[in-house]
């Protein structure tokens, strides 16, 4: 029911005034790289063999990329305009003019570099400016020189948003900042925030990481809704109200804004498009890495208009709002996870399996800097990410955790040794909330997800007995590139394959890629068998014989290692270069 328009202004002022901006900066000390040298004992043991070490180092940097934890979330696909005709606001919603902020941002010169969200361009640089820019890249992995100019995205709004007359809850907004403490984040910051009145700074004595920092922030927040923000983001006008409105409708919904990209070099904002946007939602692969995908047809059909929320199997986890009471009910974060990594996938599974929902709200738009590498160090090495992932797999994935362990041997070892900490409280939480099993999640929330064999016929690396090397997909091969032979390293990654019950040979860590044979060549492409109503074509079907041959059903030829390259050749059981085993 809509309220009379004359009451709107007073209501909005009261609501927005009560929805005060409560930013929490958890400032942590940086840590050194002193443990980095101890992370790979397999390198230390080979120091005396220089040529071999160089070869394995190349493998560690390029060849094993799929087996390493992904430290950065990539940006969603750029938005495209499909329809851009009617720019009027939908009936029953506030217009951009009505969604005025409680505090106006400082005015900016429209002609200044980078103003209004345009790309920051500077033709002539002094030596000092160049040094400052390079220093910022080294410390933050983005152009901090441009960021420090306090550029703003401009007054653009999606023009789509909150129903009139909806009472919005208050929100405490929590921003976690994790670099080491420069001088300006000490006393100068304390003095600055005193002017703002609604900002509170809480400090930890030592670096604990994002997860612990957010738990501390949530413990001191006083509003009904918690809004978590990464440090490297910029909010468009009217971004908060749509998130609060959805939670006011249903407190079991965890809502994220529509995230657009801020270029890490120029700080150009990807402006939101009002109509006809091509949306993305969150997904995951079987290495438990978060990613983005376009909406499936059934989700497009479910949405009635451009303002409709988007159901998402997973969320990026850096920017979201949640009812504080529901956050506590659902189990906050796993406080035994360390630093960061895997907590967003864990929370995604937990929310869905325990009766909640994850949604992206198109009317809320926030810009985010997607870095290509992480500027942060890990006190105990990046194995903390694998440990976090093991904890989520053991609690939420049931027997499907074995699919993950086959793709991450470090995680599998942790699980076998039970070196991932005590998970009894998390298991009790799952039982207390009467949560669904992981099969339910796959069937009902993410039916598009291809589920590999729980028990494939063979899996691991495919070793050639004639040259003592392993079949390898090579660097950044998402299909279409030739395969190679490479030193067997035993770490999975680019050398991980599965021989399935459908008799195809899959390299399926991030994508479902299959070996296929044609005209004497061996190729890699997206698998044709995707589940129901699909089949394996003959050129993707293989037979593993008792003679250790790998014969293609379509061509009748066998996989051969020739001149250090995998090729197809007439089958010869006496040729050791056609003898292969899974190791």
User: What are the structural domain ranges in the chain?
Assistant: 5-28+88-277+298-343+358-369, 458-582
Angstrom distance (rounded) from CA 339 to CA 210: 6
* Per-residue confidence (pLDDT) for residue 74, from 0 to 100: 67
* Per-residue confidence (pLDDT) for residue 178, from 0 to 100: 46
Mean pLDDT, rounded, for 110-134? 81
Mean pLDDT, rounded, for 318-330? 96
Strand order in the sheet with 462-464: 484-486, 469-472, 462-464, 580-582
What is the rounded average pLDDT for all residues in the chain? 81
Range with the poorest average pLDDT among 80-94, 408-422, 510-524: 80-94
Evaluate if residue 289 carries a pLDDT over 50.
Answer: yes
* Per-residue confidence (pLDDT) for residue 137, from 0 to 100: 77
Q: What is the pLDDT of residues 57-73, one digit of tens each?
A: 444 444 444 445 555 56
Evaluate if residue 248 carries a pLDDT over 80.
Answer: yes
* Residue 263 contacts residue 119 (beta carbons within 8 Å): yes
* Per-residue confidence (pLDDT) for residue 220, from 0 to 100: 87
Evaluate if residue 7 carries a pLDDT over 70.
Answer: no
Vertex 23: Cα angle to 21 and 25 (nearest 5): 170
| CATH architecture for segment(s) 458-582 | Trefoil (2.80)
Type and span of the H or E element at 403: helix 401-407
What band does 138 get if pLDDT is binned at 50, 70 and 90? confident
For 86, the token pair is 């009617």
Q: What is the pLDDT of residues 553-562, one digit of tens each?
A: 999 999 999 9
pTM value?
0.78
Mean pLDDT, rounded, for 481-494? 93
Mean pLDDT, rounded, for 474-482? 89
Mean pLDDT, rounded, for 221-238? 87
* Per-residue confidence (pLDDT) for residue 574, from 0 to 100: 96
| CATH architecture for segment(s) 5-28+88-277+298-343+358-369 | Alpha-Beta Complex (3.90)
Q: Which of 316, 370, 365, 312 is nearest to 340 (CA)?
A: 316
How many helices (H) and strands (E) would you count in the chain? 16, 23
Q: What is the pLDDT of residues 343-367, one digit of tens each?
A: 999 999 999 999 999 999 999 999 8
Range with the poorest average pLDDT among 281-285, 410-414, 490-494: 490-494
- Using DSSP bridges, classify how beta strands 357-369 and 310-311 pair: parallel, antiparallel or unpaired: antiparallel
Q: How far apart are the first and last CA of the chain?
A: 66
* Per-residue confidence (pLDDT) for residue 425, from 0 to 100: 97
* Per-residue confidence (pLDDT) for residue 208, from 0 to 100: 76
Q: How far is CA 260 from CA 94, 225, 277, 455, 510, in A?
A: 22, 23, 12, 40, 24
For 201, the token pair is 């700074």
Which has more confidence, 96 or 9? 96
* Per-residue confidence (pLDDT) for residue 171, from 0 to 100: 66
* Residue 307 contacts residue 90 (beta carbons within 8 Å): yes
Q: What is the largest CA-CA distance in the chain?
A: 90
Q: What is the pLDDT of residues 392-446, one digit of tens each?
A: 999 999 999 999 999 999 999 999 999 999 999 999 999 999 999 999 999 999 9
Mean pLDDT, rounded, for 297-307? 93
* Per-residue confidence (pLDDT) for residue 91, from 0 to 100: 55
Q: How far is CA 325 from CA 16, 328, 331, in A?
A: 21, 5, 10
* Per-residue confidence (pLDDT) for residue 309, from 0 to 100: 97
Give percent above pLDDT 90 in the chain.
Answer: 48
């Amino acid at each position: 029911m809509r309220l009379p328009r004359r009451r709107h202004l007073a209501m909005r002022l009261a609501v927005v005034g009560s929805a005060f901006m409560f930013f929490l900066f958890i400032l942590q000390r940086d840590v050194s790289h002193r443990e980095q040298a101890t992370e790979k004992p397999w390198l230390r043991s080979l120091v005396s063999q220089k040529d071999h070490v160089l070869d394995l180092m190349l493998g560690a940097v390029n060849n094993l990329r799929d087996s390493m934890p992904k430290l950065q979330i990539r940006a969603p696909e750029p938005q495209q305009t499909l329809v851009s005709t009617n720019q009027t606001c939908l009936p029953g919603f506030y217009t951009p003019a009505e969604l005025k902020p409680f505090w106006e941002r400082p005015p900016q010169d429209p002609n200044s570099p980078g103003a209004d969200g345009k790309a920051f361009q500077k033709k002539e640089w002094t030596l000092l400016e160049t040094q400052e820019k390079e220093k910022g890249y080294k410390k933050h992995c983005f152009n901090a020189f441009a960021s420090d100019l306090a550029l703003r995205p401009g007054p653009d709004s999606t023009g789509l948003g909150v129903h009139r007359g909806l009472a919005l809850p208050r929100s405490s907004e929590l921003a976690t900042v994790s670099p080491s403490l420069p001088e300006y984040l000490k006393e100068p910051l304390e003095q600055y925030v005193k002017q703002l009145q609604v900002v509170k700074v809480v400090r930890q004595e030592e670096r604990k990481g994002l997860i612990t920092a957010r738990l501390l922030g949530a413990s001191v927040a006083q509003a009904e809704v918690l809004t978590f923000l990464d440090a490297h983001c910029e909010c468009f006008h009217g971004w908060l109200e749509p998130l609060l409105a959805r939670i006011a409708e249903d407190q079991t919904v965890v809502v994220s804004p529509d995230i657009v990209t801020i270029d890490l070099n120029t700080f150009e904002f990807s402006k939101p498009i009002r109509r006809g946007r091509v949306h993305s939602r969150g997904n995951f692969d079987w290495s438990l890495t978060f990613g983005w995908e376009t909406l499936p047809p059934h989700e497009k059909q479910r949405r009635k208009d451009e303002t409709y929320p988007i159901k998402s199997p997973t969320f990026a986890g850096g920017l979201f709002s949640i009812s504080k009471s529901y956050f506590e009910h659902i189990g906050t974060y796993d406080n035994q996870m360390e630093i960061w990594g895997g907590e967003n996938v864990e929370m995604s599974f937990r929310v869905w399996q325990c009766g909640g929902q994850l949604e992206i709200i198109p009317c809320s738009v926030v810009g985010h800097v997607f870095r290509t590498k992480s500027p942060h160090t890990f006190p105990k090495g990046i194995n903390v990410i694998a440990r976090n992932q093991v904890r989520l797999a053991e609690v939420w994935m049931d027997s499907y955790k074995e699919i993950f362990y086959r793709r991450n041997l470090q995680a599998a070892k942790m699980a076998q040794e039970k070196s991932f900490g005590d998970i009894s409280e998390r298991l009790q939480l799952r039982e207390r909330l009467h949560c669904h099993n992981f099969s339910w999640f796959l069937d009902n929330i993410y039916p598009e997800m291809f589920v590999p064999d729980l028990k494939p016929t063979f899996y691991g690396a495919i070793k050639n007995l004639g040259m003592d090397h392993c079949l390898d997909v090579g660097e950044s091969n998402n299909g279409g590139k030739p395969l190679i032979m490479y030193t067997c390293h035993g770490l999975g990654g680019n050398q991980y394959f599965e021989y399935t019950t459908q008799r195809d040979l899959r390299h399926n860590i991030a994508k479902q890629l299959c070996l296929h044979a044609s005209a004497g060549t061996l190729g890699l492409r997206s698998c044709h068998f995707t589940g129901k109503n699909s089949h394996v074509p003959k050129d993707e079907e293989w037979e593993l014989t008792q003679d250790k041959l790998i014969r293609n059903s379509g061509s009748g030829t066998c996989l051969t290692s020739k001149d250090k390259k995998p090729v197809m050749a007439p089958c010869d059981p006496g040729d050791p270069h056609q003898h292969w085993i899974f190791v």
